[in-house]
Every structure is written in C-alpha cells, then in structure tokens.
Amino acid sequence: MNFEAIGENFPLYLSGLLVTLKLLALSLACGLLLALPLAVVRTVSRGWASRAVWVYTYTFRGTPMLVQLFLCYYGLAQFESVRESWAWPWLSSASFCAWLTFSLNTAAYTTEIIAGSIRALPAGEIEAAKALGMTRGLLLRRIVLPAAMRRALPAYGNEAIFMLHGTSLASVVTLLDVTGAARQVNSKYYLPFEAFITAGAFYFVLTLGLVGLFRWAEGRWLKPMMSR
C-alpha cells in the first residue's frame, strides 16, 4: 500500500467532497420542495392529476438513475430546438444536469414516501381537525403535513443515504466529486486500492454522519409523538 500519492492529492479529494456535498444538499432540498405538493396531489386528488403524478414517480422509480442522467446530459443534445434555446448553456453543463436529474429522481421517491405516510395518518387526527372547523388548506398546513413528515423521517433517512451514494454517478459525466477524484488518482498513478478505499472511507464517514443526523431528528420530532 502506498498512501503517499493519496496524501499529495488530498486537496483533490477535499474539493471532490465539496462537490459531492453541494450536489447532495441541493438535490435533496429541491427534491423535497417538489415532493411536498406532489404528495398532496397524489393523495388528495382522485382524478387525472393524481394519475399524472403516479406516472412521473413510476417511471423515475422504475429506471436506473444513470439512464436518466444520460438522457438529460447526452440525450437532449439530439434536438436542435434544445441546442438553440435559452436553456442550452445550462443543459450542456454536467453539474446542472446532475443536479436536475438527482433532484427529479429523489423527488419521485420522496413523493411516494410522504404520500404513503399521509395515507397512514390516523383518521382521528383529521376528524378532530375538521371538528374544530379547519379549512382544507389549514388542515393540510397545520395537521396533515407536519404529522406525515415526522412519520416519514425513518424512510426519508434511507432515501437520503441512497441519494448520497447516487451522487457518485456524477463522476460518470466527468464531474470531479469524491469518486471522480479517486478515478483521476487511479488513472494517474495506477493505485486502485488506495484511491478507491480512500473514496469509500469518505462516503462511509458521510453515511455515518447522515445516520446520526436522522437519528437526532427522529429523537427531536418523532419520538416525543410516539411515546404518548
């Protein structure tokens, strides 16, 4: 084992860590923002709107994220109208496509997670709110969404970890995230063990961090509700 080259390239790994964290935070935040209204539509509406959301989540959950990423980054260039549109500077950038794909992907999973926990809400909580004369909007904002989001925490924690691991795909479209840094070190020095084990250690620590974060969040928001 020769970890000298890794030490020399440590700044490369650190900048990769920054890319990974940025991608993860932006995708999770946008995915969650998109998932909230979609989950409400999915559970409240019974018509075409709910079907449309279902088609979206079904296709995104049924295909590999790598295919989705390639469709966005390489695929869209096929159309001249896209290449000449105002959005092209963004759509031809690997980091924008990675962010867009990851956000849409995690939004699809998160929508189903939140919709599932909305459906599983105890009927009594909703009846009590209605008996107090709450309007539908107030009911959603004060009762349904907070309660559903608390209960979705354990499943959402898993999704966040899957997303962290998913960001490693960004290295396939040339981005220099942690995996990308490891691939560069490997191709430069031919040190596969050292390069990828270092990357693995970074992800492992990040995973432990996420697990701890969600354990704390569950203790803060979910446990107090469950004990009663």
Partner 1 sequence: MLLHGFLPSLFEGAAVTLAVALSSLAVAALLGLVGALAKLSRSRVARGLAGIYTTLIRGVPDLVLMLLVFYGGQLAVNTVAPILGHEDYIDIDPFVAGVLTIGFIFGAYLTEAFRGAFLAVPPGQREAGLAFGMSPRQVLWRITLPQMLRHALPGLSNNWLVLIKSTAIVSVIGLSDLMTRGQQAAGTTREPFSFYLAVGLIYLLFTSLSELGFSWASKHLAIGVKEGRL
Which one, 117 or 171, has the nearer CB to partner 1?
Answer: 171
- The token pair at 47 is 């018509």
Which one, 145 or 197, has the nearer CB to partner 1?
Answer: 197
CB of 147 to partner 1, least distance (A): 21
Which one, 103 or 167, has the nearer CB to partner 1?
Answer: 167
CB of 214 to partner 1, least distance (A): 14
Query: Containing H/E element for 160?
Result: helix 145-166
User: Helix axis angle, 48-62 relative to 10-44, nearest 10°?
Assistant: 150
The Cα 38–Cα 50 span in angstroms is 8
If we measure between CA atoms, which residue out of 167, 202, 199 comes closest to residue 183? 199
CB of 228 to partner 1, least distance (A): 23
The Cα 55–Cα 79 span in angstroms is 24
Is residue 24 packed enough to be buried (19+ CB in 10 Å), middle (13-18) or exposed (0-12)? buried
CB of 129 to partner 1, least distance (A): 22
Q: Which residues in this chain contact partner 1 in the complex, by CB under 8 A?
A: 59, 61-68, 70-71, 74-79, 161, 164-169, 171-172, 179, 182-183, 186, 190, 192-193, 196-197, 199-200, 203-204, 207-208
CB of 172 to partner 1, least distance (A): 6
Which one, 36 or 194, has the nearer CB to partner 1?
Answer: 194
CB of 179 to partner 1, least distance (A): 6
The Cα 198–Cα 211 span in angstroms is 20
Which residues are CB-neighbours of 109 under 8 A, at least 6 positions away?
A: 57, 60, 61, 159, 162
Which one, 30 or 172, has the nearer CB to partner 1?
Answer: 172
Cα dihedral sign, 114-116-122-128: positive
CB of 63 to partner 1, least distance (A): 4
Which one, 15 or 207, has the nearer CB to partner 1?
Answer: 207
The Cα 60–Cα 103 span in angstroms is 11
Which one, 142 or 188, has the nearer CB to partner 1?
Answer: 188
* Angle (CA) 152 104 52, round 5°: 85
